[in-house]
Amino acid sequence: MLWEGRFKKEIDSKTNDFNSSIRFDQRMYKEDITGSIAHSKMLAKQGIIEESESKKIVGELNKILEDIENNTLEIDKDAEDIHMFIESELTKRIGSTGKRLHTARSRNDQVALDIRMYLKNEIQDIIKLIKELIITLVKKAEENTETVMPGYTHMQRAQPITFAHHLMAYVEMLLRDIERLEQTYNRTNIMPLGSCALAGTTYNLDRNYVKDLLGFSDITKNSLDGVSDRDFAIEFISDVSIIMMHLSRLSEEIVMWCSWEFKFIELDDAFSTGSSIMPQKKNPDITELVRGKTGRVYGDLMGILTMMKGLPLAYNKDMQEDKEFIFDSTDTVKICLTTLIPMIDTMKVLKENMKKAALKGFINATDCADYLVRKGIPFRDAYKATGTLVAYAIDNDKTLDELNLDEYRKISDKFDEDIYKAIDLKTCVINRNVIGGPAPEQVKKRIKEVKEILGKK
Ligand code: ARG
């Protein structure tokens, strides 16, 4: 034990298991070693340890890294955490020089550093995956700028849109997700080493040198905050929760679109599952799991917020729990994105079924009212006339385009032959040519912009 001077007994073994975090924090071995190398170089530069000692420490830390990566060094499950394990392994190998590494450092600033470094990498990976999903959605959108489908409110067919327009709505959400992650990255990119246990140190450290070595943009400005701040992790899990909420909404729609009630899409066999009893079944399990896993990421967010809320300054052991929340949300969002991308890429869009659904449900009723408005009728009157027309059509089991001109004229003498063109679904979509609207021209324009945005990212 590193603190054996103060203690007369070994720690109870069950207490040791309870106390230890090595089971989950071992995945930060690389960050821990990289941080220690920078710290050791700075100690030598400041004359706190000898140059030769630092060289020895750095050389051996690199060897430990290599040994862990090629599986020749097994991580000791009885160690309290990854920081203790690496330090004691170093000391085992190079003796008392290894004991100099922890000068002017505490595990409290060390763990804060490691998590920040770990998250910086994860954020970049997740942004890459989101970009891939956007590219996949944009590709599907490009193939469907003319694919008319009903747009819904209250799950009732409402107005005509295109499948491209619908998919591009998710692209907008995902672009915001990237933006949020980029902002979180900036606040994660601050170097806490030098805060030490809580009150800084009496040694003359060069914190900015460590910052530069490790590629951070700035250093923390208060030692208490430096070791007790987990805002960046909470923000990160909150970003991931929002991403998962988006993926879950998309998943829910895919579940519906696969059902016989909709049949708007068909998933590739490689990305769906069957039933053990019902031979006809093809289930969208992936999307259901994404929807389900969203709940566990929300749990991670609630967990970390609740864990932090009552903690006095500065470090408290409660904070060791942060890592399981962070790792779980990272792993979950990555696996969800990785699985969704090829599933969406290979799904078949059943355009005819979308069109059939669009033809039923009077989704061109607003366009019919707008037609009357263009003929000089105030919108409220046009709205009422069209409502009467819809009620008549329902009673006679017809759609608006199946009514003849006499039937139209019974409601308003403003109706002419050109009403049929005006309520044609293609026309209805093309005419929604406002910026942000479903008109193919608008959606194509936005697709082009998105490609440019992605090119710059
Ligand atoms: N394993 C600990 C954690 O993850 C490292 C910091 C321990 N510091 C302490 N003073 N016990 O939070």
Q: How far, in Å, is the centroid of ligand 1 from the Cα of 87?
A: 14
149, 135, 143, 235: which is closest to 187 by C-alpha?
A: 235
Query: CB of 230 closer than 6 A to ligand 1?
Result: no
List the residue whose alpha carbon is closest to atom 2 of ligand 1.
320
pTM score: 0.94
Query: CB of 319 closer than 6 A to ligand 1?
Result: yes
Give the architecture-level CATH label for domain 358-456.
Orthogonal Bundle (1.10)
**Residue 363 carries which DSSP code?**
T
Question: Does the pLDDT value for residue 161 go beyond 90?
Answer: yes
Question: Does the pLDDT value for residue 97 go beyond 90?
Answer: yes
Query: CB of 107 closer than 6 A to ligand 1?
Result: yes
pLDDT-based confidence at residue 279 (cuts at 50, 70, 90):
confident
275 labelled catalytic: yes
**Residue 443 carries which DSSP code?**
H
Ligand 1 mutation pick, 24, 28, 32, 111, max ligand atoms within 8 A of CB: 111
Taking only the tens place, the pLDDT of each residue in 214-232 is 999 999 999 999 999 999 9
For residues 39-64, give the mean pLDDT.
98
Catalytic residue among 246, 275, 276, 329: 275
- Among 103-112, 278-287, 414-423, name the one with the lowest average pLDDT: 278-287
CATH topology classification for 108-356: Fumarase C; Chain A, domain 2 (1.20.200)
pLDDT-based confidence at residue 281 (cuts at 50, 70, 90):
confident
List the residue whose alpha carbon is closest to atom 4 of ligand 1.
320
Q: How far, in Å, is the centroid of ligand 1 from the Cα of 93?
A: 24
The first and second tokens of residue 169, run together, are 């709505």
Question: Does the pLDDT value for residue 2 go beyond 80?
Answer: no
Burial class of residue 15, CB neighbours in 10 A (0-12, 13-18, 19+) = exposed
List the residue whose alpha carbon is closest to atom 10 of ligand 1.
108
Domain ranges of the chain: 4-103, 108-356, 358-456
Ligand 1 mutation pick, 317, 324, 325, max ligand atoms within 8 A of CB: 317
Indicate the pairing of strand 190-191 with strand 218-219.
parallel
**Domain 4-103 is in which class?**
mainly alpha
Please report which helix (H) or strand (E) contains residue 422, including its range: helix 419-422
CA distances from 170 to 137, 159, 230, 247, 325 (A): 8, 18, 30, 9, 26
